[in-house]
Chain A
């Protein structure tokens, strides 16, 4: 029997794997590959639903993410905000995680500026409220009690966009841009209790958790990580960070498959040797 080369041993040093992964991710970010992407039905559905809203519709976007996942959720947030503003939808931004506040405000403002939207009339940012469950439930009862002021201290009763919002009945769609499991709370309380439509834009590692709720109709749309962002960008005809990220993700996935094959070759050779 041939002696196994070191790289085919079962316990390949994980540092080698890490270096290979770093190369697989960095290379496509430096040298653009431009791999073609195909739009999935769940993204198409959300896009269609957004298209069906009109310029009086109010969309509540909850930036339920932390700083850690910002590189992955930023393309998701950008895509949905571009769609909202290009279709003249009214946007109310909130955050159920403290760290999502500054980042949520940043993406909201940046995108609003691109479309020359007016604060208070076309969009508002209300900031962070602690205690996810209580906030989601309370928004269904009395919007102004939860957010008497916006992020900048202005009264929500005076802002043109928010003065007539009483509860979920005045919101057309809730969108949770997330890196965690906060959409479960939106499903349990805003969807189940107040019968409100919800769309979820989640990081890839969390998105799979929400597919059962998409199939059961409890979620109206699901955009899955960078791939979803890239698909949304295709529908918007505005390729951006999502499309670029997909090249890197493709290479990373390819590397994982190669590692799995390598691991199995090593495993089988060792088994035959024994």
Chain B
């Protein structure tokens, strides 16, 4: 292989190799089209594994001549942890699919979502949704968009105005798409107002000033703060409180949770925020993954207790292993 590692453009170089074209023309499209086809989950997983095997086998032949260090032993503990996580989460996803419906405990903040939307409709006032300061690559922002999808569907049914000021341009585009789709799903595409979902600024307190201003001018009946929030959480929630809005908040920041708890009516704590989309849509696949999450928590709990006992007795093998 003529590829020279330090050259950045060499990725283009190897793409022109004969082997790649042979594989690319025959195997790759087949695998991708398999994945795109409407097939069951098992079939999809099988196609995904084939695609993965394709990439691994291709890469090993393409760079066989180079010295390859396949695995860093320092990451063994982490790899095992991820493997267990994947097995449990997907195991429960399959279980959820098989069973059709799974029950998870009641989450007051999500139960109140209907009340929040209904209240705004009754009062004839808008609903304000903020996904905070998160960029699109953050899982909390994706979770926020997932909740927005469900909430927007409800909002569309009641024909209530929905205002979404955004901190990130990418999030703005995604939020517009999500709400548009939800309004169409609810059978009210005509009620979708793109101009109500807009980019404000990428300055933290500039954003706060804008959202506070919107709250004071538009007087929304409901504020939904779901996403990544930092020091601005209390300013937003207190302003919302001062205008008498019903407020539901959820964030992945532990410290800001305490501010939201003080100033909001309902707060989604910890993983409740990530479970919200499954809870609202009752999708068995999502609910299955939440069950898997619970089992992982159980395993972590056992490991914490075991680690505590062993290290108190002077045996540090568990800590040493997990520390890797």
CB <8 Å contact, A209 and B255: yes
The verdict on A208 contacting chain B, using a C-beta distance below 8 Å, is yes
Cα-based distance from A66 to B209 in the complex (angstroms): 14
- Per-position contact with A for B243-271: 1 when CB-CB < 8 Å, else 0? 00000000001110000000000000000
Give which listed residue, A14, A67, A180, contacts B231 with CB less than 8 A: A180
Q: Which single residue of chain B is at the shortest CB-CB distance from A205? A: B231
A206 and B203: CB pair below 8 A?
no
> How far apart are A101's CB and chain B's nearest CB, in angstroms?
13
Q: Does B11 contact A (CB under 8 A)?
A: no
Contact mask for chain B residues 58-88; partner A; CB cutoff 8 A; 1 contact, 0 none: 0000000000000000000000000000000
Contact call B231/A133, Cβ cutoff below 8 A: no
Decide yes or no: A206 and B230 within 8 Å by CB, A133-B137, A180-B133, A181-B253 being known contacts.
yes
Minimal Cβ-Cβ distance residue in A for B238:
A14
In residues 70-125 of chain B, which contact A (Cβ within 8 Å)? none
Instruction: Give chain A nearest CB distance to B79 CB in angstroms.
Output: 14
Cα–Cα, bound, A14→B202 (Å):
30
Main secondary structure of the interface of A (DSSP, over half): helix
Q: Map CB proximity to B onto A187-213 as digits: 1 under 8 Å, 0 otherwise.
A: 000000000000000010110110000
Asked if A105 is at the interface of the complex by the 8 Å CB criterion, the answer is: no
A150 interface contact, C-beta 8 A:
no
Contacts of B230 in A (CB 8 A): 179-181, 205-206
- Name the residue in B133, B137, B230 with the highest tally of chain A Cβ atoms < 10 Å from its Cβ: B230
Q: Is A42 an interface residue (CB 8 A)?
A: no
CB neighbours of B254 from chain A (8 A): 209
B204 engages A180 (CB within 8 Å): yes
CB interface residues, B 188-241, toward A, < 8 Å: 202-205, 228, 230-231
Q: Indicate whether A102 reaches chain B with its CB closer than 8 angstroms.
A: no
Chain A residues, Cβ within 8 Å of B205: 66-68
Say yes or no: is A139 at the interface (Cβ < 8 Å to chain B): no
The residues of A that contact B231 with a CB separation of less than 8 Å are: 69, 179-180, 203, 205-206
Q: Which residues of B contact A205 (CB under 8 A)?
A: 230-231, 255
- Which A residue sits closest to B138, measured CB to CB? A133
- Closest-by-CB residue of B relative to A210 is B255
A99 in contact (CB, < 8 A): yes
Complex-state Cα separation, A132 to B134, whole angstroms: 12
Q: How far is the CB of A225 from chain B (nearest CB, A)?
A: 11
Q: Judge whether B281 is part of the interface by a CB distance below 8 angstroms.
A: no
Tell me if A181 and B204 are in contact (CB < 8 A).
no
The chain B residue with its CB closest to the CB of A69 is B231
Give which listed residue, B133, B203, B204, B255, contacts A208 with CB less than 8 A: B255
Q: Is residue A235 within 8 Å, beta carbon to beta carbon, of the partner chain?
A: no
Interface residues of B in 126-164 (CB under 8 A from A): 133, 137
Q: Which residues of B contact A206 (CB under 8 A)?
A: 230-231, 255
Decide if A8 is an interface residue (CB 8 Å cutoff).
no
Residues A14 and B255 in contact, CB atoms below 8 Å apart = no
A66, A98, A209: the one within 8 Å of B253 (CB): A209
Nearest CB to that of A202 among chain B residues? Answer: B231
Instruction: Check B242–A181 contact: CB distance below 8 A.
Output: no
- Minimum CB–CB distance from A132 to chain B (whole Å) comes to 8
**Using a CB-CB cutoff of 8 Å, which residues 59-78 of chain A contact chain B?**
66-69
Closest Cβ of chain A to B75, distance in Å, is 10
Closest-CB distance, B170 to chain A (whole angstroms): 11
Please indicate the chain B residues that have their CB under 8 angstroms from the CB of A68 in the complex: 203-205
* Bound CA span A10–B256, Å: 25
A158 to B255, CA, bound (A): 44
- Which residues of the other chain, B, contact A69 by a CB distance below 8 angstroms? 231
Ordered by A's residue number, 19 sampled pairs between the chains whose C-beta atoms are within 8 Å are A14-B242, A66-B203, A66-B204, A66-B205, A67-B203, A67-B205, A68-B204, A68-B205, A69-B231, A133-B137, A179-B231, A180-B133, A180-B231, A181-B253, A203-B231, A206-B230, A208-B255, A209-B254, A209-B255
Which B residues have a C-beta under 8 Å from some C-beta of A?
133, 137, 202-205, 228, 230-231, 242, 253-255
Which residue numbers of A lie inside 8 Å of B, CB to CB? 14, 66-69, 98-99, 133, 179-181, 203, 205-206, 208-209
Given pairs A66-B203, A67-B205, A179-B230, 10 additional interface contacts (CB within 8 A): A66-B204, A69-B231, A133-B137, A179-B204, A180-B133, A180-B230, A181-B228, A181-B230, A205-B255, A209-B255
